[in-house]
Each structure stands twice: as C-alpha cells, then as structure tokens.
Chain A
Amino acid sequence: MRHDPTDDELLRSYLLGTLPEEKADPLERRLLAEDELFELCEAIEADLLAAADRGELAPEERERVLRRLASSPQGRERHALARSLNAVAAAPAPVVAFPVRPRPSVRPAFRWAALAAGLLLAAGLSWRLMEPPHGGESSPVIAHERPAPAGPVTSDLPQETPAPPPPPPVVAQEKRPSTEKPKPAKVVWQLALMTLRGSEPPRRVSLPSGTGEVELQIGVEGMEDLESFHLVVRSPRGKTLLDKKGLKPQTLDGARTLVVELPAGQLSAGRYEIEAQGTPQDGGEPEDLSPLSIQVVRGSKG
C-alpha cells in the first residue's frame, strides 16, 4: 500500500485530537483495514511522544499528546521508552550540526534578545546536512563534518568488558588498536547559539560515569561582527563554575566555535545556565545574549 502524502498530517491531527469527527471516523475505519497505515500511525505516535519529551512541540500540543497518548498504562510505558531513547541517544559521541544563522536583519540589540540553544550529540557518525530555505520558523542548518575528538568519547552504552570505552554502537571498532592505553574520557557537548525562538526548555546532555572532562563547543556562526565572548557557566545552585572573558572563537571545520572545558567532577545532575556576552569588533559595548540552559543527566557506569 502506498501512503497518500496527506496521511502524515491526517494522522498527526488525529493523534492530537484536532481532526474533526467527520474525518476521524473514516480514518479509523481505514486504520482497522490497512495494516501499514495503522503502523504508520503508531510510528507517528511514538515520534510525537519523543518530540514532546524534547520540548519540540508547542505547549498545547505537548499537553494534548501527553493527555491523549500517555494516559493509559501502555501509553505511559511508550512515553517512558521515548524519554529513555532520547536520553540514551543524546549521550554518545558527537556529530556536529552547527546551525548557521542568517545574517541578522534587525538591530543588534534586538538580535540578541532571544537566543536558543541547539544541541546535537550523536553516535560517532558524521554527516553533512543542508536544509533548503523554508518558512522562516528556524534558521537553516549546515552540519560540518568533524574528526573524532582527541580523547575517546564515552559511550552511554554498557560495555561487556572493562576495557577502554570503545565508541558508541557504530562503525569500524576493529580499526582501533586493541592495546591502546585508556585515556581520560572526555565528553563533548555541542551547543549552538541559534535563532530568535524565545525561551526554550533546557537541552538535555548526558554525562556518563567515568568522564574526566567535558568540552563545551558552542557554535557562534553568523556572529562574525562579534570579536570575543564572555562566558559564565553556573551550577544548579547558582555557583559560578566558569567565568571566562575575551574568548575568541576557534574555527572548527569552518564553523566559528567557542571551546571551553570543565572538569566533570564539578558537574552533577541538574540544570545549568550558560550566560554569554559578545564584544563587537569595533570595541563597542558588549551585547548581552540570552542565557542558554542545559540539563545534565548523569549516566550510569558503562
């Protein structure tokens, strides 16, 4: 069976409870009769639950999803699985997908008024993405291929032996020398200053047990008129963990990126705030950037 391209939207509306009854009835009849459509509906349901957990839905949509799709015991189980998958998938080694902001067309003071974080951590893979221009709800994204970090990136998946942590579940493990001496594990969290989307829920990042150091890579693409940055990282209790002025962006695979390191020992589970200021090239007044929040999740020992 081939899906009508409109099935996606139809099913999404149905699951959100916004489809009029006169359309829901025939759709349910089709769902009973067409196995593949039914399976697609289940798949979209799972996607909605995962999106709700990642804060990708509008508040009212999120509420609808949770009320309609997570109200039964089975629904709660599915929701729990979606949350767990999001958490585990966020943990392993990085793939870079730095958002590139369009050149601002508004005054700088407003340009920084709202700033959202983009985070993408991935499982030892790199790929290149280019999104075509679209309706303007978010900025286009370019992901840059990036070599693996110098230190081994810890996997959030359990390992069968206490050997040095191999990369997450992906490729070419046999190419790593088996006699390689374990290095202190480093986790890279990749964040990006993105579009003017207002306040967002904190991005979830995982800190596997045994991590020695966390490297924050914060993309600042599209901010070429800012020469240096002032970053402050605050713990859930408001303690200043890092206060660094005059940070110059590095160019990592063509993307302007701020790189700072934090000892993992300073980080416990909870919500951290990253405050940022940018200083223009002309030496003007530093511009306040909206704070960036991350939710640190401690992983269990691998």
Chain B
Amino acid sequence: MRNGDGDTPRGERGQGLTTESFDALLTQLAPDRERAGELYETIRRKLVRLFEWRGCAAPEDLADETINRVARRLAEGVELRSNDPYGYFCGVAHLVYKEVMRRAAREHRALESGDWPPPSSLTDDEPSDQRLDCLRRCLQELPADQRDLVLRYHQGENNIRNRQALADQLRIPMNALRIRIHRVRRKLETCVHECLSR
C-alpha cells in the first residue's frame, strides 16, 4: 500500500500501514482472511472513486491515506460497528477530504472555484486514431449482442428517447440498462487500455 503524496494531507503523511494495523483491519472486515482481502479491495476501489467524484486530482493517494488512518485506529483498539462497517471509513474519508480542501484553500488553489482552469481533457480534440482503432478492435471482440447494445446506447441525438426505447425493447428498467451498459463499457475500458499499452 502506498503512503500517498500529492493531495495527501500533511498531518499524517508518511505514516504508512504497518503489518499490525493491516492485520487489525482485515480481522475486523471479516473473519475469513480471503473474504477480508476482497472487502479491503472493494472498499479501496470505492474510496478512490468517491474522491474522484469529489474532483480530487490524486484519488488513489487519498483513499490510501483514509485506509491507513482507519487501520491505525483499529490497531489502537477502535472497533467497527458491525451494522455499519463503512460508516467509519466514510467519516475518515470526509476528514481527509476536508484537510485537502483546507490545504488547497491555504495554497490558493480553490478546488471548487469557478475560475479553476479546466483539465486538459476539456479540449475538443478528436480521439486519436490509435484509440479509435483500439476501440473498434475491442468492440469486435465483444459478443455481437453486447456490441450492438453499447453502440445503440451511444448513438446520436435524442439519446434519452433512444435509451428508453432500448430499455423497453429489452423489458428492463432504465437503470438496469444503464448498469448493463456500464459493465460492457468496463470491459471496453480494460481492453482499450491494454491495446494502447501494447
């Protein structure tokens, strides 16, 4: 596990995860070690996304910092509530986030200010030929029904209507369609990433 840098709050930076605290974390997550490991990975992945959704530029570092702090507290004897084991992670994540925000404000880097320059991806550059080629190859590797579905989902104007028609056709609720598409997109994301890395 990384200690984190970048956005990581200064206060506890550098205090990594010890074997003791990691064991304490796994023990409280689940009695079965393998299951505990899975839960740990899930929580970490979700924390990364939560920090991303809050617009943090180094979400992995902040997720690691959150987990490190939780693990240290558990090693000190704090117990996770069995009916809401995630609540503690969430509370610590909020503290970490607020520290980042305070630091950013101090450094005049208002993360949420309207005059913050947009990220480089804001440009209207077309996707590169290489990326498009990779995506086409990855689409070809999908089962035909999934390929058809994901293309139709992304087609053209009047998207909401198209999607509702798709959901009606499949006889599933719109959110089920969204999730189905998202799973296909995840496959494509992985495939395109691997293709571009070659």
Partners in one complex: yes
Residues of A within 8 A of B (CB): 3, 7-8, 14-15, 17, 25, 28-29, 31-33, 35-36, 38-47, 50-51, 54, 56, 63, 66-72, 74-81, 83-90, 92, 95, 97, 99, 117-123, 125, 127, 129, 131, 141, 156-158, 160, 168-171, 203, 269, 297, 299-300
The smallest C-beta distance from A292 to any residue of chain B, in angstroms, reads 12
Asked if B35 is at the interface of the complex by the 8 Å CB criterion, the answer is no
Contacts of A123 in B (CB 8 A): 148, 151-152, 155
* Inter-subunit contact B178/A66 (CB<8 Å): no
Asked if B162 is at the interface of the complex by the 8 Å CB criterion, the answer is yes
User: What number of B residues sit within 8 Å (CB to CB) of A?
Assistant: 68
State A39–B176 Cα separation when bound (angstroms): 10
Contacts of A76 in B (CB 8 A): 119-121
Residues of B within 8 A of A (CB): 42-43, 46-50, 52-59, 84, 86-87, 89-90, 93-94, 112, 116, 118-122, 126-127, 129, 131-133, 135-137, 139-140, 144, 147-148, 150-159, 161-162, 165, 169, 175, 178-179, 181-183, 185, 188-189, 192-193
The smallest C-beta distance from A133 to any residue of chain B, in angstroms, reads 13
State A58–B147 Cα separation when bound (angstroms): 29
Contacts of A39 in B (CB 8 A): 179, 182-183
* Inter-subunit contact B178/A47 (CB<8 Å): yes
- Given contact pairs A72-B56, A120-B157, a sample of 9 additional A-B residue pairs in the complex whose CB atoms are under 8 Å apart: A17-B55, A41-B53, A72-B57, A95-B156, A121-B156, A122-B151, A131-B161, A141-B161, A170-B144
State A66–B59 Cα separation when bound (angstroms): 16
The smallest C-beta distance from B46 to any residue of chain A, in angstroms, reads 5
Chain A, residue nearest B137 (CB): A158
* Inter-subunit contact B118/A67 (CB<8 Å): yes
* Cβ contact of B136, chosen from A46, A77, A88, A121, cutoff 8 A: A88
* Inter-subunit contact A67/B119 (CB<8 Å): yes
A-B pair number, CB within 8 angstroms:
207
* Inter-subunit contact B148/A170 (CB<8 Å): yes
Chain B, residue nearest A15 (CB): B53
Contacts of B157 in A (CB 8 A): 54, 97, 117-120, 203
Contacts of A41 in B (CB 8 A): 49, 53
The smallest C-beta distance from B189 to any residue of chain A, in angstroms, reads 5
Contacts of B161 in A (CB 8 A): 97, 129, 131, 141
* Inter-subunit contact B136/A78 (CB<8 Å): no
Given A33-B86, A119-B156, A81 and B135 contact (CB-CB distance below 8 Å): yes
Chain A, residue nearest B47 (CB): A32
Chain B, residue nearest A21 (CB): B94
Give 5 CB contacts A-B under 8 Å.
Answer: A66-B119, A67-B119, A71-B119, A157-B136, A169-B148
* Cβ contact of B59, chosen from A31, A72, A77, cutoff 8 A: A72
Contacts of A71 in B (CB 8 A): 52, 55-57, 119
State A300–B152 Cα separation when bound (angstroms): 21
* Inter-subunit contact B112/A17 (CB<8 Å): yes
Chain B, residue nearest A140 (CB): B161
State A14–B151 Cα separation when bound (angstroms): 27
The smallest C-beta distance from A7 to any residue of chain B, in angstroms, reads 8
State A279–B64 Cα separation when bound (angstroms): 66
* Inter-subunit contact A51/B135 (CB<8 Å): no
* Cβ contact of B90, chosen from A29, A47, A70, A74, cutoff 8 A: A29
State A3–B136 Cα separation when bound (angstroms): 33
State A24–B94 Cα separation when bound (angstroms): 10
Chain B, residue nearest A39 (CB): B179
State A56–B157 Cα separation when bound (angstroms): 9
Chain A, residue nearest B122 (CB): A66
Given A97-B162, A157-B139, A300-B132, A80 and B127 contact (CB-CB distance below 8 Å): yes
* Inter-subunit contact B165/A129 (CB<8 Å): yes
Chain B, residue nearest A47 (CB): B178
* Inter-subunit contact A87/B132 (CB<8 Å): yes
* Cβ contact of B155, chosen from A69, A72, A120, A157, cutoff 8 A: A120
* Inter-subunit contact B53/A14 (CB<8 Å): yes
Please name the 3 residue pairs, one residue from A and one from B, whose CB atoms are nearest each other, closest first. Answer: A120-B156, A43-B182, A89-B154
* Inter-subunit contact A70/B193 (CB<8 Å): no
* Inter-subunit contact B169/A28 (CB<8 Å): no
